Structure 1
Amino acid sequence: MDTSFLVTSIVITATPGSGALFTIAAGLSRGVRAGIVAAVGCTLGVLPHLALALSGAAAVMAANPVLFDVIRWMGVAYLLFMAWGMWSDERGFAADAETQDGSPVPRMSFGRVIRDAVLVNLLNPKLTIFFLVFLPMFVDVEAADGVLRMAGLGAAFMGITFVIFAAYGAGAARVRDFARARPAVNRLLGRGFALTFVVLAVLLAITPR
């Protein structure tokens, strides 16, 4: 594998974005397993963008501003929806919080974690354009095996994504007990993540194609 591709992929993946932040939030909320489940979901959310780039459909999206904007605004709406959920949840990342009458509050299932993780990346059309531009930098697209090699690099990128995101989720889980033992810190973390998702939604909204 091209060293420059490996280094570039690591730098891009390690730069915190909506997927990484969601994975960290999952680790803080429900522990290591949820962090890894979120990492799986975010990695699966990359697959449709890679498929579009390999099939040539990404070029159609890049040339179709209406289609691009529809997906983009769906992504903005979803990020704001997640931000509102975090902001309005007084429990923050306390997985064992209770209601005022003392009954336990059900937390989201692992199925919902992976669904939300997939949607975080799936509704980001910039990933499709990213693969359309990024992969041909390391492959001769005119070669007979050009598409196959691009698919291999895409699979490697997904592997790197999973490893780094799983590390984020597991690392977040290690400070989970510290946050849960301090309600004020716990709520502050929840509000901080909510505001961060609002910022990411704004950046997605204003970023040109």
Structure 2
Amino acid sequence: MNCLRLLRPISCRPSFNFTSVKYVSQHPLKYLDKQEKWQEKDGLSKNWQLIYKAPMGNALNYAVAYLTTSTAIVAASTLYYTAFVFDVNTMNDPVIIGESLVIANNAPECLIYLGSFVLLHVAVKVLISKFVVRMYQKGDEYVAIFRGHWINSIVKHKFHLNEFKKLNPTFVVSWGDARFQLGKKHGILLDTYFRTPEYFNYLMYKKKNE
């Protein structure tokens, strides 16, 4: 009976090790499967290796299009209202759309609503513009891919390994500790979405694991 107790944990070890290796090895394979697709989409040669891919790519893509469109429409409406509709003599009258739809108690209140809407959307858009959606590596050269101003548009930013460093946390966003300097541009990176932890460690500490 004592012999069986000693052998029991030994018999469980192979299956545990096999499961762990399988789980770890699947993560970089997801990058290899789609690397060529993203290289072509981002206009990069096969010499550039995909090392980072952020989540919610499609959601960010459509969010940028919505923010750009809505901000432009509301900003244009605000300018039109200020230039052609606003009247000092009737500024305290309710602002009405159509025959009976009251959208503000007076003109200044309406301008405050519209201005707040534009400022909020611009702030969110600036935040999204700093979110790195993909990153490539070629030796010590890197390319970070950011969202552009319209759907499916991107902005490519190149930087060197020595230009990467972690920025101090900020109270503006909840993930302030994920802010990094990528040369002349700041970006938001989530370390759990690197191809493997080694790629992030190499960027941070400029030292390859031996």
Q: Same fold (TM over 0.5)?
A: no
- In the superposition, the TM-score normalised over structure 2's length comes to 0.25
Which of the pair is proportionally richer in helix?
1
Q: If the length of structure 1 is used for normalisation, what is the TM-score?
A: 0.25
Structure with higher Rg: it is 2
Structure showing greater relative contact order (alpha-carbon pairs closer than 8 Å, 6 or more residues apart):
1
